[in-house]
Amino acid sequence: MRHEPSGSCPLVQPTADRRCAPYTAAVARRYRQRTLREIAHRAKVSHLAFLAEHAEQGGGCGAA
């Protein structure tokens, strides 16, 4: 068996490119922000629907 100096054989899989990490972090951050905006929007719509239903039923503060 021949001895090969270290580093003489190319790796089977190339090492990860360091430029990918910030890109994937930015994509994840945008995805997370979009998800949070969607959740906030759904909560607002739900709250407005609740208020509208409550107003239709004659609800109020109870001050008669």
pLDDT digits over 8-41, tens only? 666 666 665 566 788 898 999 999 999 999 999 9
**Domain region containing 39:** 20-55
Identify whether 64 is part of a domain: no
Q: How far apart are the first and last CA of the chain?
A: 98
Report yes or no on 11 lying in a domain.
Answer: no
In a domain, 1, yes or no: no
In this predicted structure, what is the pLDDT of residue 58?
77
Position 26 in a domain: yes
37 found inside a domain: yes
pLDDT of residue 62: 52
pLDDT given for residue 64 in this prediction: 44
How far is CA 2 from its chain centroid? 52
35 lies in some domain: yes
The tally of domains found in the chain comes to 1
Note whether residue 27 is domain-resident: yes
Q: What is the pLDDT of residue 48?
A: 96
In a domain, 30, yes or no: yes
Tell me the per-residue pLDDT of 51-64, one tens digit each, with 9 for 90 and over.
999 998 876 655 44
pTM over 0.85: no
